[in-house]
Structure 1
Amino acid sequence: MSIPKFADLPLDKSGPHHNAWGLYGPNDQLGTLNRLTDSTVTTAAKEVKTGTRVSLNWPLDAQGDIPFFGRQAFHQELYQKPPRIVNDDVWTFNTQSSSQWDGLRHFGYQREKVFYNGVTLDDIHGTNGKERSCVNGIGAWSEKGIVGRGVLLDYHAWRVEQGRSHDAFTTSAISLEDLKAVAKAQGTEIRFGDILLVRSGYMDAYNRLNKEEVSAMMGKQPPSFAGVEQSEEMLQWMWENFAACAGDHPSWEAWPTQKDWSCHEVMLAGWGMPIGELFDLEALGKHCKETSRYEFFVVSEPTNVPSGVASPPNILAIF
Structure 2
Amino acid sequence: MTADAFDALYRRLASATAWAAGERGALIALTPRHVAAAAQEIRSGRTVTLAAPVETSTGPDSPEPARHTMVAWSEQADDQGLHFARDSFAMNVHGDTDSHLDALCHVIYHGTLHGGVDADRVTADGATALTVEALADGIAGRGVLLDIPRLRGVPWLEPGEHVSAEDLAAAERSQGTRVGEGDLLFVRVGHRRRRAEEGPWHTARARAGLHPDALEFLAERRVVLLGGDANNDTAPSAVDGVDFPVHVLAMHAMGVHLLDYLQFEDLAPLCAAEERWSFFCVVAPLRLPAATGSPVNPIAIL
Q: TM-score range by the shorter chain?
A: 0.7 to 0.9
User: SS of 1:296's equivalent?
Assistant: strand
Shift of 1:108: 2.2
Residues 55 and 317 of structure 1 are in contact (CA less than 8 Å); yes or no, is this contact kept in structure 2?
yes
- Is 1:230 paired with 2:205? no
Which of 56, 59, 69 in structure 1 is aligned with 2:50? 56
Classify 1:67/1:46 alpha carbon distance in 2 versus 1 (closer, same or farther; 3 Å). farther
Q: Distance in 1 between matches of 2:99 and 2:42?
A: 24
Classify 1:32/1:102 alpha carbon distance in 2 versus 1 (closer, same or farther; 3 Å). same
User: SS of 1:281's equivalent?
Assistant: coil
* Aligned residue type for 1:279: L
Shift of 1:22: 6.6
- Is 1:18 paired with 2:14? yes
Q: Which residue of 1 aligns with 2:236?
A: 256
Shift of 1:166: 5.7
Classify 1:9/1:264 alpha carbon distance in 2 versus 1 (closer, same or farther; 3 Å). closer
Residues 142 and 184 of structure 2 are in contact (CA less than 8 Å); yes or no, is this contact kept in structure 1?
yes
Paired residues for 1:88-107 under 5 Å = 88-97=86-95, 98-107=98-107
- Is 1:245 paired with 2:218? no
User: SS of 2:104's equivalent?
Assistant: coil
* Aligned residue type for 2:33: S
Q: Distance in 2 between matches of 1:279 and 1:107?
A: 19
Q: Which residue of 2 aligns with 1:4?
A: none
What's the RMSD between the two structures over aligned residues? 2.6
Q: Distance in 1 between matches of 2:277 and 2:14?
A: 30
Q: Which residue of 1 aligns with 2:146?
A: 153
Residues 20 and 255 of structure 2 are in contact (CA less than 8 Å); yes or no, is this contact kept in structure 1?
no
Residues 10 and 19 of structure 1 are in contact (CA less than 8 Å); yes or no, is this contact kept in structure 2?
yes
Q: Distance in 1 between matches of 2:10 and 2:58?
A: 42
Shift of 1:122: 2.0
Which of 179, 187, 208 in structure 1 is aligned with 2:197? 208
Structure 1 unaligned residues grouped into runs of 5+: 1-6, 12-16
Residues 65 and 74 of structure 1 are in contact (CA less than 8 Å); yes or no, is this contact kept in structure 2?
no
Shift of 1:268: 0.7
- Is 1:173 paired with 2:169? no
Q: Distance in 1 between matches of 2:16 and 2:132?
A: 19
Stretch of structure 1 that moved more, 273-282 or 175-184: 175-184
Q: TM-score, normalised by structure 1?
A: 0.81
Paired residues for 1:64-143 under 5 Å = 64-66=57-59, 68=61, 70=63, 72-78=64-70, 79-80=72-73, 82=77, 84-97=82-95, 98-109=98-109, 112-125=110-123, 133-143=127-137
Q: Distance in 2 between matches of 1:155 and 1:23?
A: 29
Residues 156 and 194 of structure 2 are in contact (CA less than 8 Å); yes or no, is this contact kept in structure 1?
no
Task: Tell me the alpha carbon deviations over residues 28-72 of structure 1, each in whole angstroms, 9 at most, x when there is no partner.
Answer: 2100111111001000011011101111110112x62226375x2
Q: Distance in 1 between matches of 2:144 and 2:62?
A: 28
Q: Which residue of 2 aligns with 1:14?
A: none
Shift of 1:209: 2.5
User: SS of 1:197's equivalent?
Assistant: strand
User: SS of 2:247's equivalent?
Assistant: helix
* Aligned residue type for 2:139: I
* Aligned residue type for 1:153: L
Which of 25, 46, 49 in structure 2 is aligned with 1:31? 25
Residues 19 and 269 of structure 1 are in contact (CA less than 8 Å); yes or no, is this contact kept in structure 2?
no
Q: Distance in 1 between matches of 2:184 and 2:279?
A: 10
Q: Distance in 2 between matches of 1:182 and 1:113?
A: 36
Classify 1:178/1:124 alpha carbon distance in 2 versus 1 (closer, same or farther; 3 Å). same
